[in-house]
């Protein structure tokens, strides 16, 4: 071998091109392109109106005249407004009663209709059917059912002693339970379906192991089924609480916030202040208080249930 051949440098093999980074960038770009229409819709119909409402909440605005900047006056006036405190109390009362009843009833129906019983498919359909109906139509139907003169449900309730001379929707003590009943009946089927999906995702091996250990019936539900449904319970509770805090449709159709403002919720008050009294700035302030209330409640529920989330 010659000296010249020995002095030649050893060739360095070319490094393979790393295509992973480029592929990831292309995937991210494709993902953003797919999300762009939805982001645009959210920006136009959610973000922009909310930002405008936030600006109006610091002003006095009645459509006919330019907005006048008031600073925090609309917010500072809220605690001293009897209409606001009444609507806030009604909203919290509605949510505090309707949410646990809806969640508990949905769970009970899901457990029952998950068993091998006759007419199971028909029962699931019957419970879920109100979900696909319009809430305003449902509220009109229930208004006729609860009418003290022609209502069939009012007649049946009267036969067992549950009656009111004024009618359920005209009685200050019974109007709120009536609209709660409609809200629960309308939405419980949707929450039941979520629980059904959770029940059917639990491995059967766990129930067989529990049966071998002697856990049956209530014990199996308490120590196995209920803890494993923590994820579904978190979702259902947050969805239900958020929906109840925004209750409007059935209340507007059935009672218009009456009698004597006993069923006027925050959303009803926002509607009345904005579209009846044309105090859009004040209505916007109430709407942002409701947004913050929903946000705080949702975050609190998320933190509470996340600690109890399960994987299997």
pLDDT of residue 193: 94
> pLDDT tens, 99-132?
999 999 999 999 999 888 888 889 899 999 999 9
Q: Which residues are within 8 A (CB) of 122 and not within 5 positions of it... i.e. 6 or more apart?
A: none
Name the average pLDDT for the chain: 87
Residue 69 β-bridge partners = 59
pLDDT of residue 226: 87
The topology (CATH level 3) of 77-306 is: MetI-like fold (1.10.3720)
Are 262 and 280 in contact by the 8 Å Cβ rule? The answer is no
Are 93 and 175 in contact by the 8 Å Cβ rule? The answer is no
pLDDT class for 14, splitting at 50, 70, 90? low
DSSP secondary structure code for residue 255 in this structure: T
> pLDDT tens, 147-194?
888 888 888 887 887 777 778 888 888 899 999 999 999 999 999 999
Classified as helix, coil or strand, 69 is strand
Let me know if 3 is exposed, middle or buried by CB neighbors in 10 A (0-12, 13-18, 19+). exposed
Q: Which residues of the chain form beta strands (DSSP E)?
A: 59-60, 68-69
Give the C-alpha separation, 220 to 118, whole Å: 23
> pLDDT tens, 205-252?
888 887 887 777 788 888 888 888 888 998 999 999 999 999 998 999
Half-sphere CA count of 59, side-chain side, radius 13 A: 15
Give the C-alpha separation, 85 to 87, whole Å: 5
pLDDT of residue 116: 84
Provide the angle, in degrees to the nearest 10, between the axes of the packed helices 175-201 and 135-145.
130
Judge if pTM exceeds 0.75.
Answer: yes
DSSP secondary structure code for residue 9 in this structure: P
Rounded to an integer, the average pLDDT of 54-61 is 92
Give the C-alpha separation, 48 to 282, whole Å: 19
What residue spans define the domains of the chain? Answer: 23-69, 77-306
Give the C-alpha separation, 125 to 113, whole Å: 10
pLDDT of residue 222: 83
> pLDDT tens, 65-81?
888 999 999 999 999 99
Q: Which residue has the higher pLDDT, 309 or 176?
A: 176
Rounded to an integer, the average pLDDT of 33-51 is 91
pLDDT class for 1, splitting at 50, 70, 90? very low
pLDDT of residue 11: 57
pLDDT greater than 90 at residue 280: yes
Q: Which residue has the higher pLDDT, 299 or 21?
A: 299
Classified as helix, coil or strand, 59 is strand
SS3 helix, strand, coil % of the chain, rounded to 5? 70, 0, 30
Let me know if 216 is exposed, middle or buried by CB neighbors in 10 A (0-12, 13-18, 19+). exposed
Half-sphere CA count of 239, side-chain side, radius 13 A: 17
pLDDT greater than 90 at residue 270: yes
* Residue 239 token pair: 């969805």
Rounded to an integer, the average pLDDT of 254-258 is 90
């Amino acid at each position: 071998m010659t000296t010249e051949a020995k002095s030649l440098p050893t060739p360095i093999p070319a490094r393979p091109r790393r295509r992973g980074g480029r592929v990831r960038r292309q995937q991210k770009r494709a993902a953003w392109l797919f999300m762009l229409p939805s982001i645009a819709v959210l920006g136009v119909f959610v973000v922009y109106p909310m930002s405008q409402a936030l600006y109006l909440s610091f002003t006095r605005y009645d459509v006919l005249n330019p907005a006048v900047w008031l600073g925090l006056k609309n917010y500072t006036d809220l605690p001293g407004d009897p209409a606001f405190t009444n609507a806030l109390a009604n909203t919290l009362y509605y949510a505090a009663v309707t949410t646990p009843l809806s969640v508990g009833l949905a769970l009970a129906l899901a457990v029952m209709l998950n068993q091998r019983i006759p007419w199971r498919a028909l029962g699931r359909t019957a419970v879920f059917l109100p979900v696909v109906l319009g809430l305003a139509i449902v509220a009109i139907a229930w208004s006729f059912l609860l009418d003290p003169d022609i209502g069939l449900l009012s007649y049946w309730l009267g036969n067992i002693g549950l009656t009111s001379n004024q009618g359920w929707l005209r009685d200050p003590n019974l109007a709120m339970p009536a609209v709660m009943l409609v809200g629960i009946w309308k939405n419980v089927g949707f929450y039941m379906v979520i629980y059904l999906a959770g029940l059917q995702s639990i491995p059967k091996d766990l129930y067989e192991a529990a049966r071998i250990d002697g856990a049956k019936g209530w014990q199996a539900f308490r120590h196995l089924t209920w803890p494993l449904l923590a994820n579904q319970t978190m979702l259902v509770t947050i969805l239900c609480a958020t929906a109840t805090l925004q209750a409007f449709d059935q209340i507007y159709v059935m009672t218009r916030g009456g009698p004597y403002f006993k069923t006027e919720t925050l959303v009803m008050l926002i509607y009345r202040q904005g579209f009846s009294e044309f105090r859009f700035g004040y209505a916007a302030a109430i709407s942002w208080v409701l947004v913050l209330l929903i946000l705080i409640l949702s975050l609190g529920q998320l933190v509470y249930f996340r600690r109890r989330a399960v994987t299997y």
